[in-house]
Amino acid sequence: MSIDRRRFLTVTAASITGSVLAACDKNPQKAQSLLRLAERANERVEDGLFRHSAMNRVSADAPVAGSSFPKYFISPRVPVWDAAANGAWRLEVSGAVRRPLSLSLDELMKLPRVTQKVDHFCVEGWNARATWSGVRVSDLARAAQITPDAQFVDFAGFDKDYHESWDMKSAMHPQTLVAYGMDGYLLTPAHGAPARVHSPVKLGYKNTKYLTRVVFMPVRNGGFWSDQGYEWYAGT
């Protein structure tokens, strides 16, 4: 009896330890369809929680990250717009719109300007503050007169084929900008010059830098990181 009990305990302890250790550093492939199901269910929950009145607020005296603000791009070198080869940079707003726009940087800067100090939430876990200046995506949508077909927006840039598509609600949030200024200066190439998407309502990777095209569309269009297995919604 005593031996049985000891053996039972040993086997119990060993099997618990064994099954936990067997799971270590794994990502069981059989569960992936279940995880995709959960991701789609989460999107509905996140969409339900989303409010245009819920804003990211950073106190006025909070310091900005400044030169410590992390930079990244997918090209081998910092992407710089080649005006000699491609002509002057322009931002195209097209797709499900009645009045497609093609804006020079000057024209973009003449649209109603918003300046906001907000968080930048990276998927890695850090957050960094900066003061961004730019035009609300919702103002661009109004100017281009989007049609009811505009259910999603794709933000594409000239950093290789980088793009990320968004749900309309998040794109129309008042803190979602096409930004051309950072901390009081025009964007530098490291941060996406001449213009980029910036919003605290999505994780950093959804905020396309080196922006050239804003395309309203009836279906979602994936994205650079979303297509590699990161969440497509990635809302905060």
Partner 1 sequence: MANLVKRNHWIIRLTHWVNVVAVTLMAGSGMRIFNAHPAFARPGETFALNPWEGTPIPAWLTFGQWLGGARHWHFAAMWLLVANGLLYLGFLFFHGEWRDIVPRRGDARDTIEMIKFYLFVRRDHPHQGKHNALQKSAYFAMAVLGVVIVLSGLAIWKPVALWFVTALFVNYKWARFVHFVAMALLLLLALVHVFMVFAVDPYSLRAIVTGWYDRARSPEARNARPFYHLFGPARSGSSSEVPPS
Binding site for partner 1 (CB under 8 A): 2, 5-6, 9, 12-13, 20-21, 23-27, 34-36, 38-39, 42, 46, 49-51, 54-57, 65-70, 119, 121-129, 200-201, 228-231, 235-236
Contact (Cβ atoms closer than 8 angstroms) between residue 170 and residue 104: no
Q: How far is the CB of 165 from partner 1 (least distance, A)?
A: 17
In angstroms, what is the minimal distance from the CB of 128 to partner 1?
5
Residue number with CB closer to partner 1 (94 or 236): 236
Nearer to partner 1 by Cβ, of 92 and 119: the residue is: 119
Q: DSSP code of 223? A: B
Provide the token pair at 160: 């290789």
In the complex with partner 1, the residue whose CB is nearer, 36 or 160, is 36
| Contact (CB, 8 A) for 162 and 224 | yes
Q: How far is the CB of 61 from partner 1 (least distance, A)?
A: 13
Q: Which amino acid is at 189?
A: P
Q: Closest distance between partner 1 and the C-beta of residue 210, in Å?
A: 21
Give me the least distance between CB of 170 and partner 1, in Å please: 10
Residue 47: CB atoms within 10 A of its CB come to: 13
HEC secondary structure over 23-58? CCCCCCHHHHHHHHHHHHHHHHHHHHHCCCCCCCCC
Q: Which is nearer to partner 1, 13 or 80 (CB)?
A: 13
For the bound state, the minimum distance from the C-beta of residue 79 to partner 1, rounded and expressed in Å, comes to: 21
Asked whether 120 and 234 are in contact (CB, 8 A), the reply is no
Please identify, using beta-carbon distances, which residue of 121 and 216 lies nearer to partner 1.
Answer: 121
Residues 186, 83: Cα–Cα separation, whole Å? 17
- Kindly tell me which of 25 and 106 has the beta carbon lying closer to partner 1: 25
The two structure tokens encoding residue 93: 């707003």
Tokens of 35: 């995880």
Say which residue the tokens 């840039």 belong to: 157
